[in-house]
Amino acid sequence: MFKMSEYAFVAAILATGLALILYLGYALSGLRAARMQTAGATVRTGVMGFSSGPRTAGLGRYATILGWLGFAFLTAWVIFRTLATGHGPFANMYEFSVAFAWGILGAYYWFEHSYHQRILALFALPVALAMMLYATTISSVVEPLVPALQNNLLLTVHVAVAIVAYGSFTIAFAAALLFIIQPEGGRWGLPKPEILDDISYKAVVVGFPFLTAVIVLGAVWAETAWGRYWSWDPKETASLVTWLIYGAYLHARVVRNWRGRKAAYLLMLGFAATLFTYFGNLFFGGLHSYSGLG
């Protein structure tokens, strides 16, 4: 099983990397088409104002297929690794990083499926790929669990829920970044700012309750294992900071003139906090310091 999981992981890296190259080609073809459009050519606009895009549809389709393949390989990795370890593959930095990439790809394809904005992949897939490449630098040997982690149910659920939240936040980040790099009103054939804003919002609407669940489940676990539901452990605190930032974002979006650019900057901050929470245990120690890297 362990061998199978390793193969699946390598296949996932290759598929995702290739998908990213195709997405890049797809985006560049769009850039040319957008220039032609400004030169006077007409462009179809899809239903509900979602630009179906003048891009080379074939490239995009193959990119999507490859990306799905990457996601499928990671799913296989999750299954094989779970069978090999007896718990959800979320117990150390290696497992969590690959699972994070899995979450990003899952969230990305959910959004690609409902919004048809392949350009998002340009920022979402590199994060997933980076997570996988980072995981290759860490030992993947299956190690038995230290006493604090010996709670298969909470370990699996607490981190699985975190992966959904982090994956969604990555999509919110990708859309917000696309929003920010465009000049007012949109350009370069990129998705309309309104759609990007909507994607970000939807992603946070999914991610925020999940992050809440991560914190609540973490509190339940902490109450069982550490003796108190909240101890201001650095990772705990960082997750609270992340939660507060996304909470602020959801409220800021209702303030009329804070929508759009300001909200997008909050999402950048939120994603920075997400990464800080994620990598935090590497440098601030505390009770979560069982990354398998110490």
Partner 1 sequence: MTYEADTGRLPGDASPPPAEALERDGGIGVDGFLEGLWDLLTSMKFGVIVILALAALGLVGTMVIQAPPGIASDAAAKADWLDEIRPKYGGWTGILDQLQVFTIFESVWFRALAALLTASLIACSAHRLPGLWKSATRPHVAIGEAFFSHAPQHEFMAVRGSGEEIQTRVTGVLRKHHYRVVSEDDGTVHLYADKFRWGPFGTVIGHLSLVVILAGALVGSAFGFRDTGFVVAEGSTVPVTSGEGISVELVQFQDAYYTTTGAPADYASDLIIYRDGAEVARQTIRVNEPLRYGGLSFYQSFYGPAAAIRVTDAKGAAVFADGVPLAWTENESGRRVGSFVIPGADLTVWIIGTAGTSDPKIAPGQMRVEVYKGSDGTAVAGETIDQRTSVALAGYTFAFDREMQYTGLSVARDPGTPLVWLGSVLIIVGFVLVLMFPHRRIWGRLVVRADGRGMLSLAAAGRRDVNSNTEFTDLVTEIRTAFTTPADA
CB of 57 to partner 1, least distance (A): 22
Region of 5-13, 76-84, 96-104, 234-242 interacting with partner 1 (CB under 8 A): 234-242
Q: How far is CA 273 from CA 29, 67, 69, 187, 242, in A?
A: 34, 27, 30, 29, 5
Nearer to partner 1, 12 or 263 (CB): 263
Token digits for 176? 């917000």
Q: How far is CA 284 from CA 99, 149, 159, in A?
A: 22, 19, 19
DSSP H helix total and E strand total for the chain? 8, 0
Which of 181, 176, 164, 231 has the alpha carbon at shortest distance from 201?
176
Q: Does 228 bind partner 1 (CB under 8 A)?
A: yes
CB of 139 to partner 1, least distance (A): 11
Euclidean distance between CA atoms 287 and 55, whole angstroms: 49
Q: Does 238 bind partner 1 (CB under 8 A)?
A: yes
User: Cβ(220)–Cβ(266) under 8 Å?
Assistant: no
CB of 39 to partner 1, least distance (A): 28
Nearer to partner 1, 36 or 250 (CB): 250
Region 26-85 residues binding partner 1, contact defined as CB under 8 A: 48
Q: Which of 31, 41, 65, 205 binds partner 1 (CB under 8 A)?
A: 205
Euclidean distance between CA atoms 158 and 156, whole angstroms: 6
CB of 185 to partner 1, least distance (A): 11
Q: Which of 273, 274, 278, 288 binds partner 1 (CB under 8 A)?
A: 273
Region of 51-59, 60-68, 85-93, 210-218 interacting with partner 1 (CB under 8 A): 210-218
CB of 5 to partner 1, least distance (A): 19
Nearer to partner 1, 2 or 232 (CB): 232
Binding mask 275-294 for partner 1 (x = CB under 8 A): -x---x---x----------
CB of 276 to partner 1, least distance (A): 8
Q: How far is CA 107 from the centre of its chain?
A: 7
Q: How far is CA 95 from the centre of its chain?
A: 15
Q: SS3 for 2?
A: helix
Q: Give me the torsion for CA of 169, 153, 97, 108, rounded to 10°.
A: -40
Token digits for 263? 């909200």
Residues that bind partner 1 (CB under 8 A): 48, 114, 143-144, 146-148, 150-151, 194, 198, 205, 209, 212-213, 216, 219-220, 223-230, 232, 234, 237-238, 240-241, 244-245, 247-248, 251-252, 254-256, 258-260, 273, 276, 280, 284
